[in-house]
Amino acid sequence: MTVFGVHASHEQIHPAALLESVVHAERAGFDAAMCSDHFAPWSERQGQSAFAWSWLGAALQATTLPCGVVNAPGQRYHPAIIAQAIGTLGAMYPGRFWAALGTGEAANEHITGDPWPRKDVRNARLRECVDVIRALLAGEEVSHDGLIRVDRAKLWSRPAEPPALVGAAVSVATARWCAEWADGLITVNAPVPHLRAMIDAYRDAGGRGPLSLQVHLSWATDQAEAERIAYDQWRSNVFAPPVCWDLETVEHFDVISTQVPMERLRQVVNISADLGRHTGWLEEYLDLGFDRIFLHHVGQELGPFVDVFGTEVLPKLRTR
C-alpha cells in the first residue's frame, strides 16, 4: 500500500503554523510527513527558514506519523552531529524517522565561509559522510581524515535499529550512484519518462529500499488563484542544476526569476483547480511504482489543501 504524506516546507511557513498543519494532516488522513532542511528560503516572498531538527522532535511528539528530512551533511553540518541527531530521533521514536542525504545547495552552505566545492567533490564528500554516519549509528568509534575530518567520535545514545539513510537525487546519474549506498531513493516530480529512467537506473544498479516522490502542486478552488499561488511562491524554484545548486542568496534567486513564464512553472509544479486532474497526475506516479508520495502544496495556507485532498483525493488513490 502506497504511503501518502505531506511535505512541510520550512522556507514558506512559520514553524508553529507548520506544526499545526502536520497535526491537521494526520487527522485528515495523511499517512506520513517529511520536511526540508535549509538555512534560507529561495525567495523573499517565502520569508521563513526554521531549524528542521528542532521542529522534527516536536512533529514526532505531536503526531504518530513517520517523518523524514532531506539533509546535506559535509559543510554546514558535520556528519558526526547529523549522526547524533538521527540517532536521538531514532531512539526516541523507533521506526518512525528517516533521513535523506544529498550534496546540498550553495544558498545554505555558503554561510560557513568555506568555498563551495565542485559537484564531483561534493559527491565524494557526501559518500564519506554516509560512511561516517553509518559507522557511528552502528556504535563504532570513528576517526577519519579526508574531505571531512572526524576524531574519535562515538554515539552514546543510539536506536536499536538505525534509521534509513535515503539517497536524494534529481538526475539519472545521481540515482544510479545512490544505489551504491542508500536504503531507498527520493526525488521530485518530473516528466514520467525521466522518473522512469531514474527508477530503472537505481534498481538496475542494485538500489534497495522504498522509492519516494515529493510532488510540488498548487491547488485552489479557482484556476487563476492556483496559478497566482504557484507563481508567487515557486517561480524562483524552476531552475535546473547546476544553477539552483550554485546561487548563493535569496536576492540572486529573486533577480533571475523576475521573468519566468507560467509555462516554465508548469513543468515543475502541478497547477490546477481540478481535483480530478491532480488525482490523474498522482495516479501516473503510482503506476511508476513509488512507495511513498509526499504532497507539497506550494502555497502558504495549507488548511484547505489538507482538508480537500484528505477527503477527495487520497481515498480515490487508495482504492486503485
**Which residues on neighbouring strands pair with residue 165, listed in sequence order?**
99
Quick one: which of 114, 4, 7, 93 has its CA closest to 52?
7
Mean confidence (pLDDT) of the chain: 97
Per-residue confidence (pLDDT) for residue 320, from 0 to 100: 76
% of the chain exceeding 70 in pLDDT: 100
**Which residues on neighbouring strands pair with residue 311, listed in sequence order?**
none
3-state secondary structure of 85: helix
Banded pLDDT at 127 (limits 50, 70, 90): very high
Among the options 38, 110, 216, 296, which is catalytic?
A: 38
Banded pLDDT at 205 (limits 50, 70, 90): very high
% of the chain exceeding 90 in pLDDT: 98
User: Can you tell me the mean pLDDT for 128-145?
Assistant: 98
What domains sit in the chain, N to C, each tagged with a CATH number?
3-319 (3.20.20.30)
* Cβ-based neighbours of 78, under 8 Å, separated by 6 or more: 148, 150
User: Can you tell me the mean pLDDT for 253-276?
Assistant: 96
For residues 63 and 26, give the distance between their C-alpha atoms in angstroms, rounded to a whole number: 7
- The grid coordinates listed for 136 are 557511528
Banded pLDDT at 49 (limits 50, 70, 90): very high
Q: Give CA angle at 274 (270, 278), nearest 5°.
A: 40
Q: Are 203 and 182 in contact (CB under 8 A)?
A: no
- The grid coordinates listed for 221 are 478552488
For residues 95 and 32, give the distance between their C-alpha atoms in angstroms, rounded to a whole number: 12
User: Can you tell me the mean pLDDT for 40-59?
Assistant: 97
Per-residue confidence (pLDDT) for residue 268, from 0 to 100: 96
Three-class SS string for 4-41? EEEEECCCCCCHHHHHHHHHHHHHHCCCEEEECCCCCC
- The grid coordinates listed for 106 are 550553495
For residues 208 and 229, give the distance between their C-alpha atoms in angstroms, rounded to a whole number: 37
Residue 5 pLDDT greater than 80, yes or no = yes
* Cβ-based neighbours of 218, under 8 Å, separated by 6 or more: 226, 227, 229, 230, 233, 234, 269, 270, 271, 272, 297, 298, 299
Residue 269 pLDDT greater than 80, yes or no = yes
For residues 40 and 306, give the distance between their C-alpha atoms in angstroms, rounded to a whole number: 25
Active site residue 10: no
Kind of pairing between the strands at 97-101 and 142-145: unpaired
pTM comes to 0.96
Beta strand extents in the chain (DSSP E only): 3-8, 32-35, 67-71, 97-101, 142-145, 149-153, 165-168, 185-188, 211-218, 270-271, 292-297
Residue 283 pLDDT greater than 90, yes or no = yes
Q: Dihedral (C-alpha) 239, 244, 248, 249: value to the nearest 10 degrees?
A: 40
Unique residue bearing C-alpha cell 552502528: 138
Among the options 26, 105, 109, 128, which is catalytic?
A: 105
Q: Which long-range contacts link 238-241 to residues 24+ away (Cβ below 8 Å)? A: 238/264, 238/265, 238/267, 238/268, 241/170, 241/171
Per-residue confidence (pLDDT) for residue 204, from 0 to 100: 97
Active site residue 105: yes
Q: Dihedral (C-alpha) 182, 32, 34, 192: value to the nearest 10 degrees?
A: 70
Is the omega angle on the peptide bond into residue 73 within 30 degrees of 0, that is, cis? no
pLDDT in tens, 8-48: 999 999 999 999 999 999 999 999 999 999 999 999 999 99
